[in-house]
Each structure stands twice: as C-alpha cells, then as structure tokens.
Amino acid sequence: MRLSIIGSCLALLLLLSCSEQQKPAPTAKAKETANSSEATTAGYNKNRNAYFGDLHVHSSWSFDAFIYNVRTSPEDAYRFGKGEMIQHPIAGDIQNTRPLDFMSVTDHAEYMGVMMQMLDKESPLAKLEFAKKIKSEDRAVSLEAFGDVGRSLARNEPMTDLTEKEVISDTWQKQIEIANRHNEPGKFTTFPAYEWTSSPTQGSGPQTELYAANMHRNVIYRGDKISDIPFSSFDSQDPEQLWKWMEKEKAKGIDLIAIPHNANMSDGLMYDSKTYDGRPIDAAYAQLRIDNEPINEVVQIKGQSMSHPLLNPNDEFADYELYAYTFAVGVPPASKPQGSYVREAYEQGLAYKKELGVNPYEFGVIGSSDGHNSAGPVQEDRYFGKLGVIDGSPEVRLQAGERGGRFLRSRYMSAAGLAGVWAEENTRSSIYSSLKRKETFATSGPRIAVRFFMGDNLENLNFDDESWIDKAYASGVPMGSRLESQKESPDFVVWASKDVEGANLDRIQIIKQWIDKDGQTHEKIFNVAWSDDRIKDNKGGITAVGNTVDVPDASYTNTIGDITLSAVWQDPDFDSSQSALYLLRVLEIPTPRWTTYDAKALGITIPDDLDATTQERAWSSPIWYQP
Amino acid sequence: MSRLLKEPIFYFLLIGCFIFLLDNLINDNEEDREDIIVTTEDRERLIAQYTQNWGEPPSQETLDKLIQEYIDSEIYYKEALKLNLDHNDEIIKRRLRQKYEFVAEDLADIVDPTTEELEAFYKDNVDRYLSPARLSFHHYYINPDKHKDVDGRASRLFDRLSSLTPERIDDRGDNGHIPTAQTQVGEKEISRVFGAAFAEEMFKQPVVGWKGIVGSGYGLHVIYIDDIEQQMTRPFEEVRDDVMVDWQTDNRALFKQELIKSVRDQYKVIRQDG
C-alpha cells in the first residue's frame, strides 16, 4: 500500500533533506504568524488595562515537583492558568475559578524533564540505576535519590547522565512549543521561560550543617526568538555570568530578562555590597545588572521580600508573611536580613547612583506563585499548597509538625502572589513592554489595581471625571519611571481599586526613600488615602481599620473599608536637590489567612504560632526622582 | 490518505526510491580508500554555527580547527558504523526514532489541503468554531462609599433612567474605573471585570432593554442591555487560519498513525521472551 512505500522512502528523504541542525524546531506556526500583524486585540485601551498573571509556575518537569509526586505537565499548568481543572497528587482536582491573564511555566533548567523521562519506558534514562531509585515504591529510597539531586545542585556538580545536551534540548524545545501553543493574543499571554536555580552552599563543616542560599532567577523570553538551550546554574552559579550570557543572547536578537525572587532566602547575597566573586560593586556591574533585571519578584508562597521588622523598625506593617529561612535538609538556619530585602536595596541603590552614576537596583516589582503543582494557590480559601504531597492537605500543613513531621514550615508559607501589569492589551509585545518599562505592581494575591503617577499641574485632578487617567498620563510619569529635576514638589496621583471578588481597602501609603547631602539614606511612610472617613492624628497616623473576621467561621464582611481610594498628594519635605524614590503600598482590610480556612476544615483551633487574620496588600513599582 | 496518490511529490518519491536502489546496486564495489568530502556548504555551516554560539565569526585558525574536528568526527562516525557500534544503543535508537517522526511530520506538512478539503473539515468539526454568546450593555454605577442609602439611590436612579433610552441619559451614576459602555463581551470577560456572580446574573435570560439593578463586588449597577449575540458558528472565512492549524495538527497525527501502521506490516514480530 502507498504509505508503506512512503515509509521506505523516508530514508531517501533524509538524504535529500538539509542537515538537521538547520531545521527549525516545530513551533505553533499559523497562530503565531497571525499575531504579528499590527491590528489591536479586543479590550485594547490606550490608557492601559491592569492584567494579572503568574510568571513563576513549576510542573512535574521540575525535579523537586516530580519527587513530591506531581505528575502534571507544563501543558496542564497553562490549562490551569486558563481556568481548567487539573489533578493534584493528593488534593484531588484543583481549579482556579479566576483565570489568569498571562503566565509563564518556569521549570528548573537543571534536570528539566529528566525525572518524567525516567518514567517513560522508551527513554534511555529509564534504564539508569538512578531511575530505579527515583521510581522506588519505598519513599526512603526515592527521598535519598532526591537528596542526591539536591546535593548535586548545592555542590553544583551535575550528574552527567542526566545533563546530556540532547536530553535538555528536546525538553526545552517542547517547553517552548507548549508555551507558544497556549498563547492567545487578546485572551491569554504566555512567555517561554525557565528558572536558573543557583543555590550556593553556605557554612562549613559536615554535610548536615551546610545550607544553601537562594539566588534563583526566572529567565523570561519575549517569545519571538529563544535560546537553543538554557543557561543553568551548572554553567555558573554566579548571576554576573548569567547576565553576560544574556548579553550574548541579546546580540543574537533574542529578547529576555531575568527576574530574581526570594531575596528573603538569600542569606544576604541577593543585594550584597559585593559581587558574587567578592569584588566591590562597580559601575559596569551595576549597569549589567539593571540592564538584565528590570523586575524583581517580591511576594510569593515563600513569603515576601519587601520589608523585615529588623530593617524597617518604624514600619507598623513591615512584619508581613515573613519566611526568613535558607534551604537545608534538616532545620534551616535563618536567612540574614541585611542584603535580603528590597526596601533596603532601594535605599542602597540611591547611594550607588550617587557614587557610581548607575543604580543597580532601579527595578520594578511583581508577585507570583512559585507553585510546584503546575498551579499557583492564589486564593486563601482554596489553598492547596506549594509542593505536591508535602503540603497538599490541611492535615499535613497544620498537623504534621505536631506529629514530628519534617516540614513544619509549610504553615508559614503564604498563599501565592500575583504579577500586575499596566498594558494596552493582553499580548506578548504589550505585556513584555510593561515589564521592561516597569509599569508593574505586586500583590499578595488579590487583584487590587494600583495606579501611581508623578508630575506637574495635577493638583486639581477630578477622580469623578473619567478623563483623569488621560490627564495623569499627559502631565505625569507612571510607576517604574524616573522623574527629572523639579523646582518644587510634584503632584503625586495615587489610586487603588479593590479586587472585585475580594476585600475592601484600608489605606494607601507612600513610602519615600531619599539620600541626603552626607550620603545618608532615609525612609519615611505617609498615609495618603484611607477608608471610612477616619481622622489623621497630628503625627500622620491613622487608627486601625477594624476587623470583621469571624475566626471559627473563617469569614469576613466588607462592612468596613472602601471600594476605591484615591488622592493627589504633595511631599511636605520635598527637597529638589535630593535623589529620592516613592512607592505605593495598598492594604486590604483584615481577612482570614489560609491557615484559618484549614483550621476550620479540620475543626481545630488555630496553632498559637499563626496569625488568624492577614492584611493582604499590593506594592507599586517606585517612581525615582533624579535632580 | 488516498489523495496522496494524486500528489506530484508522491511520484517524485517513487522515482527517488528507484534511483536510490539503483545507486546502491551500482556502487557496491568501491575502491578501498574512502573519501571524506568537505563541501562549501559544510564550511559555511560550521562558520554559521560558531557565529551563532559566540557572536562573532571564527578566525582562520579556529576555522581550520573546526574543519579538522568535522573531518575527524566524520571518520569516527564511519569507523563506528563499520564496527556496528550504532546497534543496540538506546540513545541512538531514540534519536533516530525522533528524526523519523520529524520527517514524517514534515512529510505530512508537504500536503496542503485544498479549500474544499478545509471546508469539509470545518463542516465535520463545526463545534470547534463557535463564538460565545456576547452582550453589549451600559452600566450606571453606584459606589457604596458615596451614598448612605445605596439601595435607595440605586432604585431612584433605575426609576429615572428606565423611562429613557441610553442616548438621553442625564445621570450617569458615579464614575468607576470601568467604562460605562461595554461592547460585545462574553461571560468570561464580564466575569474578569465585574466578578463571577455579576456575569452569571447578566446571562440569565437577557433581553434587550432595561434589565434592572445588578450587584458586583464594586457596588450596584443599573443595567441597560443594548444588544445580545447568541452563541453561533463563526463563518469559515473568519476562522480559516484556525481551521488550517487544526487540520494540520490532525493530519500530522493521522499521517503518523497510518505510517506506523503500514510500516509495522513489513515486520514479522517473533516473540522469544517466553
């Protein structure tokens, strides 16, 4: 029959076809070409819409997710992002009732997909001795194998069987293909991506006393042209080497950025005053860093990286979802606060700018999840944990510690954050541009929309007139921008709207940081808009908004707080000769923390070490003032 | 698959096969010393690869090295083949299987469907090309932060507006951040902006005209529905690109499936594994 003839002729075709290297990888052809036209998509808004996404999701193609019994793929992850139902290893079917607008699957580059390949009988990897351990029914054996992987990462010694270029390249091409296939301009934007998992070992002495610091970055591609193979931490654990590699990729026409996360777990390395290899920071380093890292992820399951009560002692809201640990097999040592938080880094950035002429930390902020179930657990009342079987049920999360379990820390993790961007439309080019110009904000999960502008002649802005946004864009600069020299205080336009399905808002604050003529940096927090007609005291303080949470019932009411908050503000201490930055923090009224919903489900009282309520929040990217 | 018989490529392949076999028969007795030929294309490819990896073309010295490496690896390759080192190697087997599949996919893509075929495919799969139901509406917003008696304000606004058509509206309610006029939005989009409960309420037997007061997480909204688009089949011309992608995806899978089925027939499987 005819097909069998074709079969025999494939050999011939192979001879005739051009060499395989020159053949482009299969990609979603027609749909992608269709997008490249200039036409706008439905929902286009020249004044930009707030879109909410998650740029940090892992599937079973990440070695750690696999080890903890996650078996869903990047395909499933995008399906979850769009609102479809997928499987969790112990929580049953999970679904995000509120689809995301944009997303990246960021599987670890190191050993990407190899664990899944070991399950595939067809794969050569399935025959490795190591694969048998991974597949072992005996949990102790598979955990031991996971330990090997973890140690190999901590020591940065790749297991060579598992890092063959062929293996990596196949998986990577599939990742790209899946991301491309799920990208639907106007509806759902995806960016091909991966995580560079640098976890340098800290401490000295026996293995049991070693721990690892978090220097991880997600590498996000705009999507038209993508690296042949990811640069992994096996290539180098030094972020400077990552940026140098990125520069080479950019020279080939590849558009990509790196987004660091969990500085809170970096033990002081993320915003250290030295480079990774111990040199003092210089202008070239600062430039390379800010060129490649315009955005930092500052809130996710493993806590927030904005503030720490030791570093920000005068901030009554600094102590929020702290997760200040390093990585270790046993009980991890605390992560050093100095050098680990964004607010401190922002201050240092002003000093670097003065000293070097370049600010390495002139970056914007987003939140994301870091969910390892091919899904981010954003909703407090539908929390399903971070990592497969470790924290997939209320029992293991809240009660395992009491039974002597190893993962007591699960309960200190936070429900996931989200990335907010202001973009004209929901497309790759529009959202990627927002990230590059830092017109972004971070939320601890709720879809709070935050607008922030600085400029002149905005004092009479009328928020009841729909055209106020036109005026703000025309006379001011939005979050993420730099405002050049002014004679007197510019007008600050602040506006926030609650999550339509969430809690009301308590207040908007402006956090101001500046550097004086002696090179000293300072920080001051101003309440600029607040709910319920509360009266500001003579020190600028506002009384607490109240608390409607019924703890045993894990519920709250929106009888306090406001739906939108807005103000035009001027800085009473403005000094036109001082470099400064301003960012917004928006607080919700108190709501039950995810652990409170869990306690209700279990019918137990909340453990003493946990807060029953939380004040979820959003942070804007700063606006920098540069005289 | 019978349309393949009508494709010129098919005859090209048959002829190619014949030449291939002929060539094998004629060239059976070659002299001992084998040629390793480095063509201009090989050289250009090495330069291109190097340039892609390092961002600059190789120097003459580097290029000489690259070519020498290429020659060496060709020699190793040929020698390894003579020793049958490619046999029973899992990685090579997997790689070859993958290449075979790639070629099969490419082969499937060679055949472009005619418009008639696409239309037939579209008709067979018409449920893939439905447009969701959409509404166009105006909402006049009442912000609970601004009114002591929110319900009272809402019903007064509704009473007043419902005697008017949208063009004659004089009181537009409070300014929110969501434009008053919403055009051709589906349940998903409405849910995204106004919340799921609001979206569900809007799609409960919608009728053109004043709908009444609908609540959302932002407060209350007096609603006028301007237009309703029922769920319907999108015309072929509008979805032609999507149909093409779907056709190709399906065709590739079908082709691979048929191919492996037919190739299987050429093998007699002998099970000696007890």
pLDDT in tens, A463-511: 988 889 999 999 999 999 999 878 899 999 999 999 999 999 999 999 9
Q: Regarding predicted confidence, which is higher, A350 or A139? A: A350
**Are the beta carbons of A563 and B143 separated by less than 8 Å?**
yes
The pLDDT assigned to A377 comes to 95
Who among A21, A449, A500 is closest to B216 (CB)?
A500
The pLDDT assigned to A30 comes to 36
pLDDT in tens, A364-385: 999 999 999 999 999 999 999 9
The whole-angstrom distance between residue A85's C-alpha and the CA centroid of its chain comes to: 23
ipTM summary value: 0.78
Under DSSP, is residue B4 helix (H, G, I), strand (E, B) or coil? helix
Contact A188, A102 (CB under 8 A): yes
Tokens of B236: 């072929």
Cβ contacts (< 8 Å) between B259 and chain A: which residues?
A: 3, 6-7
pLDDT in tens, B5-43: 566 666 667 666 666 665 655 555 555 678 888 999 889
pLDDT over 50 at A572, yes or no: yes
Tokens of A580: 């400064």
Question: Do A220 and A282 reside in the same domain of the chain?
Answer: yes
For A48, phi then psi, to 5°, come to 70, 140
pLDDT over 80 at B3, yes or no: no
How do strand A623-626 and strand A482-484 relate by DSSP bridges? parallel
The pLDDT assigned to A205 comes to 67
**Are the beta carbons of B91 and A1 separated by less than 8 Å?**
no
Q: Which residue type, as a one-letter code, is found at position B252?
A: R
The pLDDT assigned to A376 comes to 96
Percent of chain B with pLDDT over 90: 30
Nearest by Cα to B57 from B43, B71, B68, B69: B43
Who among B90, B94, B175 is closest to A466 (CB)?
B175
Contact A616, A588 (CB under 8 A): yes
Q: Which residue type, as a one-letter code, is found at position B47?
A: I
Residue A467, C-beta contacts closer than 8 angstroms, at least 6 positions apart? none
Q: From start to end of A222-357, where are the E strands?
A: 256-260, 295-300, 303-304
In the sheet with A491-497, reading across from the earlier edge strand, the strands are A476-478, A449-455, A491-497, A564-569
**Are the beta carbons of A99 and B192 separated by less than 8 Å?**
yes
Contact A596, A552 (CB under 8 A): no
Question: Do A388 and A495 reside in the same domain of the chain?
Answer: no
pLDDT in tens, A54-107: 999 999 999 889 888 899 999 999 999 999 999 999 999 999 889 999 999 999
Tokens of B16: 């190619």
Q: Which residues pair with A508 in a beta bridge?
A: A529, A586
Q: What's the gap in Å between the CA of A30 and the closest CA on chain B?
A: 6
The pLDDT assigned to A108 comes to 95
Q: What's the gap in Å between the CA of B168 and the closest CA on chain A?
A: 19
pLDDT over 60 at A33, yes or no: no
pLDDT in tens, B178-229: 888 899 999 888 999 999 999 999 999 889 999 999 999 999 999 999 999 9
Q: Which residue has 């489900």 as its token pair? A: A601
Can you say whether the dihedral through the CA atoms of B76, B78, B79, B80 is positive or negative? Answer: positive
Q: What DSSP letter does each residue of A341-354 carry, written as one string?
A: -HHHHHHHHHHHHH
Average pLDDT, chain B: 84
Q: What's the gap in Å between the CA of A13 and the closest CA on chain B?
A: 8
**Are the beta carbons of A8 and B244 separated by less than 8 Å?**
no
The whole-angstrom distance between residue A110's C-alpha and the CA centroid of its chain comes to: 19
Q: How confident is the model at residue A409 (pLDDT cuts 50, 70, 90)?
A: confident
Q: Regarding predicted confidence, which is higher, A269 or A465? A: A269
pLDDT in tens, B143-180: 999 998 999 999 999 998 888 877 788 778 888 888 88
The pLDDT assigned to A105 comes to 98
Under DSSP, is residue B165 helix (H, G, I), strand (E, B) or coil? coil
Question: Do A134 and A185 reside in the same domain of the chain?
Answer: yes
* Domain carrying residue A535: 450-626
Nearest by Cα to A219 from A232, A207, A228, A200: A232
Domains of chain B plus CATH, in order, are: 92-129+239-274 (no CATH), 131-232 (3.10.50.40)
Question: Do A473 and A595 reside in the same domain of the chain?
Answer: yes
**Mean local confidence (pLDDT), A499-524:** 97
Burial of A211 (0-12, 13-18, 19+ CB in 10 A): buried
Q: Which residue type, as a one-letter code, is found at position A423?
A: A
**Mean local confidence (pLDDT), A514-540:** 95
Who among B52, B107, B195 is closest to A252 (CB)?
B52
Contact A371, A422 (CB under 8 A): no
Q: Regarding predicted confidence, which is higher, A51 or A132? A: A51
**Are the beta carbons of A10 and B95 separated by less than 8 Å?**
no
Under DSSP, is residue B265 helix (H, G, I), strand (E, B) or coil? coil
Cβ contacts (< 8 Å) between B266 and chain A: which residues?
A: 4, 7
d(CA A502, CA B141): 18
Tokens of A268: 């002081």
Q: How confident is the model at residue A248 (pLDDT cuts 50, 70, 90)?
A: very high
Who among A1, A83, A127 is closest to B90 (CB)?
A127
Q: How confident is the model at residue B251 (pLDDT cuts 50, 70, 90)?
A: confident
Q: Choose one of A408, A441, A474: the last residue of a domain.
A: A441
**Are the beta carbons of B20 and A16 separated by less than 8 Å?**
no
Q: Choose one of A412, A441, A470: the last residue of a domain.
A: A441
Contact A351, A580 (CB under 8 A): no
Cβ contacts (< 8 Å) between A7 and chain B: which residues?
A: 259, 262-263, 266
Nearest by Cα to A96 from A441, A365, A415, A556: A415
The pLDDT assigned to A410 comes to 86
**Are the beta carbons of B55 and A251 separated by less than 8 Å?**
yes
Identify the closest residue of chain B to A15 by CA–CA distance: B20
pLDDT over 70 at A5, yes or no: no
Q: Which residues pair with B185 in a beta bridge?
A: B135
Cβ contacts (< 8 Å) between B144 and chain A: which residues?
A: 563
The pLDDT assigned to A11 comes to 42
In a domain, residue A30? The reply is no
Average pLDDT, chain A: 89
pLDDT over 60 at A25, yes or no: no
Under DSSP, is residue A495 helix (H, G, I), strand (E, B) or coil? strand
Q: Regarding predicted confidence, which is higher, B274 or A495? A: A495
**Are the beta carbons of B179 and A466 separated by less than 8 Å?**
yes
Angstrom distances, CA of residue A474 to CA of A40, A47, A116: 22, 10, 52
**Mean local confidence (pLDDT), A241-268:** 97
Burial of B56 (0-12, 13-18, 19+ CB in 10 A): exposed
Q: What one-character DSSP code corresponds to residue B172?
A: -
Who among A6, A449, A531 is closest to B107 (CB)?
A6
In a domain, residue A39? The reply is no
Burial of A15 (0-12, 13-18, 19+ CB in 10 A): exposed
Who among B103, B174, B218 is closest to A10 (CB)?
B103
Q: Which residues pair with B214 in a beta bridge?
A: B221
Angstrom distances, CA of residue A7 to CA of A96, B109, B270: 45, 15, 21
**Mean local confidence (pLDDT), A227-252:** 96
Question: Do A343 and A433 reside in the same domain of the chain?
Answer: yes
Question: Do A358 and A460 reside in the same domain of the chain?
Answer: no
d(CA A73, CA A215): 25
The pLDDT assigned to A22 comes to 37
Contact B214, B202 (CB under 8 A): yes
In a domain, residue A585? The reply is yes
Under DSSP, is residue A336 helix (H, G, I), strand (E, B) or coil? coil
**Are the beta carbons of B218 and A500 separated by less than 8 Å?**
yes
**Are the beta carbons of B103 and A97 separated by less than 8 Å?**
no
In the sheet with B134-142, reading across from the earlier edge strand, the strands are B181-186, B134-142, B219-229, B209-216
pLDDT over 80 at A110, yes or no: yes
Cβ contacts (< 8 Å) between A6 and chain B: which residues?
A: 4, 10, 13, 107, 259
The pLDDT assigned to B227 comes to 93
Cβ contacts (< 8 Å) between A466 and chain B: which residues?
A: 175, 179
In a domain, residue A9? The reply is no
Region of B52 (left: φ > 0; alpha: ψ -120 to 50; beta: rest) is alpha
In a domain, residue A21? The reply is no
Tokens of A451: 């607008």
Question: Do A460 and A389 reside in the same domain of the chain?
Answer: no
In a domain, residue A17? The reply is no
In a domain, residue A363? The reply is yes
Percent of chain A with pLDDT over 70: 91
Q: Which residues pair with A624 in a beta bridge?
A: A482, A581
Please state the length of chain B.
Answer: 274
Identify the closest residue of chain A to B259 by CA–CA distance: A3
d(CA A380, CA A272): 33
Nearest by Cα to B108 from B4, B264, B185: B4
pLDDT over 50 at A32, yes or no: no
Who among A12, A29, A466 is closest to B16 (CB)?
A12
The pLDDT assigned to B217 comes to 94
Question: Do A290 and A397 reside in the same domain of the chain?
Answer: yes
Residue A284, C-beta contacts closer than 8 angstroms, at least 6 positions apart? none
Cβ contacts (< 8 Å) between A502 and chain B: which residues?
A: 217
Region of A111 (left: φ > 0; alpha: ψ -120 to 50; beta: rest) is left
Q: Choose one of A387, A416, A441: the last residue of a domain.
A: A441
Report how many domains make up chain A: 2
**Are the beta carbons of B241 and A6 separated by less than 8 Å?**
no
pLDDT in tens, A428-442: 999 999 999 999 999
Angstrom distances, CA of residue A447 to CA of A50, A81, A342, A450, A505: 9, 15, 22, 9, 12
Identify the closest residue of chain A to B262 by CA–CA distance: A4
d(CA B226, CA B136): 5
The pLDDT assigned to A9 comes to 46
d(CA A450, CA A461): 17
**Are the beta carbons of A4 and B265 separated by less than 8 Å?**
yes
Region of A156 (left: φ > 0; alpha: ψ -120 to 50; beta: rest) is left
d(CA B235, CA B248): 19
In a domain, residue A100? The reply is yes
Question: Do A402 and A465 reside in the same domain of the chain?
Answer: no
pLDDT over 90 at A333, yes or no: no
Contact A300, A214 (CB under 8 A): no
**Are the beta carbons of B217 and A14 separated by less than 8 Å?**
no
**Are the beta carbons of A31 and B103 separated by less than 8 Å?**
no
The pLDDT assigned to B233 comes to 86
Highest mean pLDDT, choosing among A3-7, A128-132, A326-330, B54-58: A128-132
d(CA B52, CA B48): 6
The pLDDT assigned to B214 comes to 96
**Are the beta carbons of A30 and B174 separated by less than 8 Å?**
no
Contact A304, A414 (CB under 8 A): yes
Cβ contacts (< 8 Å) between B248 and chain A: which residues?
A: 29-30
CB atoms within 10 A of CB B39: 8
Who among B55, B174, B184 is closest to A252 (CB)?
B55
Rounding to the nearest 10 degrees, give the CA dihedral for residues A501, A507, A508, A510.
-150
Q: How confident is the model at residue A284 (pLDDT cuts 50, 70, 90)?
A: very high
**Mean local confidence (pLDDT), B68-73:** 90
Question: Do A246 and A314 reside in the same domain of the chain?
Answer: yes
Contact A226, A191 (CB under 8 A): no
**Are the beta carbons of B91 and A501 separated by less than 8 Å?**
no
Nearest by Cα to A472 from A490, A496, A454, A448: A454
pLDDT over 90 at A230, yes or no: yes
Region of A590 (left: φ > 0; alpha: ψ -120 to 50; beta: rest) is beta
Q: What one-character DSSP code corresponds to residue A388?
A: G
**Are the beta carbons of A5 and B13 separated by less than 8 Å?**
yes
pLDDT over 80 at A18, yes or no: no
The pLDDT assigned to B248 comes to 84
Question: Do A365 and A420 reside in the same domain of the chain?
Answer: yes
Q: What's the gap in Å between the CA of A501 and the closest CA on chain B?
A: 5
Question: Do A477 and A603 reside in the same domain of the chain?
Answer: yes
**Are the beta carbons of B17 and A97 separated by less than 8 Å?**
no
d(CA A342, CA B122): 54
Tokens of A366: 């987003």
